[in-house]
Chains A and B, each alone.
Chain A
């Protein structure tokens, strides 16, 4: 009998609908946790908008905005313990922030500061990945190490819809499945890989099912529903910690901005599509829920927006005030110790023989 893709039925998990009404069972989160999630999302959005403006002013380099994807990132990162490992791609500022990387670090990175990729001690996150899906096999190396050491930690790997076409993603799935590694793939399907729509990226009905052939369970979730993302990530974390192996989560979301500040999405994407997705904005939806639950009000909202603006102002000030790195330093980070040739080249820079 033929195994046919159309025989597979996939239903998207949703807990909050677009109007913010509860349509599923709410996860076990305290009021303080719910508000905390909302604060992360709101401040992250304000940060994203500010950094895009900074780029237009020439104060930071090329930047990949994440607006629209806050629920997918905050919801998933919230389901992790601080000691778990996060493998980010380049659009994961909110997830990294929740996991412990200050916004100032992310801004320094975007400014191209030589220390921008240095993480605070004790934050278990790998460096930002630029090569698409390059982090997937590395995440399995980390999960393999956890498996070997028995440290019960989970490695969560963020990737996008485009990354699911890469060979590394598939090689890593295979490895993860054979060794039943404590790993989670969090695919943010934001519908566009630069100009390539999801429909042309893959003939697969869903990205969640891409692990099935490898023996890995998957789930598709409304990626703009922070509660649903949190819930399914928690389930995947529990499976991983119990030694039951890897999982794939496809968070269906939308990149509201350009691929990066060098991109112009109006060249390939309709204004209507953006309008449709604005109706599903993850922050608006969650706010409605909090208002309904009487956990939030207009006064708190105004205070939060004010706080966000101030906090981001401080982040910008701190990052811009950071002493600049030196050219000499870059020779120090090639190997643990300088090779004779690097020593010569560094000395030439120090003597200002070259600039």
Chain B
């Protein structure tokens, strides 16, 4: 049985999603996509220059990838809705990563406005992937609002600090019946692996790849880490204990009937 990631009626083999905002050149995107095998990429509408023949980022995105415009710059639900509509009208499809950020200092998402935007856009037929803090009540409201997935942050965006919100994301994984995609904060492949081992459906990575000395190689490393984490999750890791368990137990004879 194939282990596919299903979002918005489409199945994906890769569980690594890419960002695109911080690369030294958009021309790196095809190679990053090829080496990582990623099938979904998010692009800020604010950065897309539809009129430019040479400087249009969309020209660098492989045709087989699922384009996911994002609402970067939206300060409230209405702005996010307008950005999503502009993107769809411009031919970018009906997927949208909803980012509503009213805090430019920490770039933390506004859960309330995000839920409002999802409510509106889902009704209009958008496949919405909202970026939120890992809050269970917000996530439940997103489910009701019609989100296609929930994308909690592992740490503040761009911080590379790893899975700092692990316990809260674990609750979302346990309680929310939608793909949980860890977005933001993952700085190393091991962070992504940890999220996947825990049962996250996928990871979205931008800064850690774009900021690497070799972004292509780092994208490949993230891809392997995501796959390893997923396989480990499917394999069912052994339980953690607070004391060592010897592989040749000293009291094994009691169970083997030798000690009587």
Say whether A and B bind each other. Answer: no
Chain B: residues with CB nearer than 8 A to chain A? none
Chain A: residues with CB nearer than 8 A to chain B? none
